[in-house]
Amino acid sequence: MTLCRGCCCGTARKHPQVDHDGQLDQLRHGVGAADRVRRSECLNVCDRSNVLVVQPTPAARRAGARPVWLAEVLDPVVLAAVADWVRAGGPGAAPLPPSLRPHVMPAPRWGPLRGRGGAGR
């Protein structure tokens, strides 16, 4: 799983009511393996922050599963649902929990990246 942090997502400037470090800790603790949660400096979908991408397992990927992009993940209850889903197998291995459906967003289609922030900024 990749959690956007740095530019807009994960900053008190944009979401002062959210404990961004606490979110990262909750996910790392919730999935049971800290190495399964990575931080990205910017995923270039700042208008949908906080964004995270849940990767399928290698076996699920070979079977055709694709990453699932989740937007506006600001609530600890939503983070708990993400962690539960990942522990159950995630994309392609476990059904998407109904509580996460409103957060699913299409994967962005980026053009050539321009500068530090990339396209779409």
Please check whether residue 114 lies inside any domain of the structure.
Answer: no
Edge-to-edge strands, sheet with 52-54 = 38-40, 2-4, 52-54, 68-70, 104-105
Which tens digits make up the pLDDT trace of 42-53?
Answer: 888 888 989 999
Q: What angle do CA 44, 46, 50 make, to 5 degrees?
A: 110
Tell me, yes or no, whether 110 lies in a domain: no
Q: Which domain holds residue 34?
A: 2-105
Contact criterion met (CB below 8 Å) for 27 and 35: no
Q: What is the pTM of this model?
A: 0.85
Is residue 17 assigned to a domain?
Answer: yes
Is the residue at 26 inside a domain? yes
Q: Tell me the pLDDT tens digit for each residue of 61-113.
A: 999 999 999 999 999 999 999 999 999 999 999 999 999 999 999 998 865 55
- Domain membership of residue 94 (yes or no) is yes
Number of folded domains that form the chain:
1
pLDDT digits (tens, 9 = 90+) for 3-41: 888 777 777 788 888 888 888 899 999 998 756 888 888
